[in-house]
Amino acid sequence: MKTIPYPVSEKRVMWDSLHSDEIWPAYYLSKLMRSGIITTKELEGKHVLDIGCGASFGRSSKSDYIENSHFIAQLAELYVGCDISGYVLAEARKIISVYPLKEKCALVLADAKELPFADGSFDTVIMIDTLYLLGNDAFSALKECTRVSRGQIIITAFHSDGLDPTIPTIPSQKGKEYGTITQKSWSPIEQIFFTKEQMSLILDELGLNGKIFVLTNHEYDSLRSSEESYPSATVNELIVVKASKRP
């Protein structure tokens, strides 16, 4: 597999510094499997790319949920995780060094909007809990997901319904509104939120056929295990996209 060095950028430094405060594990795949939206078929025996992978190779200490990277690695033939943060990948490497499935795992430092992989390199491309953090780069990142996939693309995003009206929206720099971009005054991150219709137009523009599921917070929360004491969804309904290229 060809990899290219990824230069130190302002964005990379920002993510390193955010992770040095906190690394968020997420259990979305485990939960979506419980809801029937994701099945083992999309991952079993596949070469899988996990974009914005973080360091999710564990299990919840409070429930039976499995963290996303571990969930994928258990089923896939090859797990490749990529992330913009060298800090978080160093943490992931520490965990992987004693990980029973380490032989089939690789980690790559890369920006989602410019992936260092050849066209059609992966059977399944996954981007969980990451798209909303990409702001104006979200469409380029989705284009890259499409380019490097030869099969399924599975993405989670957040719906723009229920966005706090006191948070200012900022205009899209690309001259095209793919979603609503907001930035909290205290945060360095531009976040992007979508309606189902916007997501459907994006899939169309990328030449993808797929299903868009919108889970209300209530539906999403109902997938939570009773032992979990922290809130799972943030403030908006969850969007789950399962798509593949049009034949």
Contact set with ligand SAM (CB under 6 A): 15, 24-26, 28, 51-54, 56, 68, 83-85, 88, 111-112, 128-130, 133-134
Nearer to ligand SAM, 127 or 202 (CB): 127
Least separation in angstroms between residue 136's CB and ligand SAM is 11
Other CB atoms within a 10 A radius of the CB of residue 10 amount to 8
User: Which residue, 155 or 206, is less far from ligand SAM as judged by CB?
Assistant: 155
Shortest reach from residue 28's CB to ligand SAM, in Å: 6
Residue with Cβ nearer ligand SAM (26 or 73): 26
Cβ proximity to ligand SAM, 129 vs 237, nearer residue: 129
For the CB of residue 110, give the shortest distance to ligand SAM in the complex, in Å: 6
Question: Smallest distance from the beta carbon of 145 to ligand SAM, in angstroms?
Answer: 11
Q: Among 236, 227, 233, 242, which residue's Cα sits nearest to residue 65? A: 227
**What long-range pairs does 108-111 form, CB within 8 A, spacing at least 24?**
108/3, 108/80, 108/81, 108/82, 109/6, 109/82, 109/83, 109/84, 109/85, 110/6, 110/82, 110/83, 110/84, 111/6, 111/9, 111/11, 111/12, 111/84, 111/137
If 0-12 CB within 10 Å is exposed, 13-18 middle and 19+ buried, where does residue 111 land? Answer: buried
Output 88 or 238, the one with its CB closest to ligand SAM: 88
Nearest CB to ligand SAM, comparing residues 51 and 75:
51
Enclosing H/E stretch for 106: strand 105-109
- Taking the complex as a whole, how short is the minimal distance between the CB of residue 29 and ligand SAM, in angstroms? 8
First to last CA, the chain: 26
Rounded least distance, CB 22 to ligand SAM, Å: 10
* φ, ψ for residue 69, nearest 5 deg: -65, -40
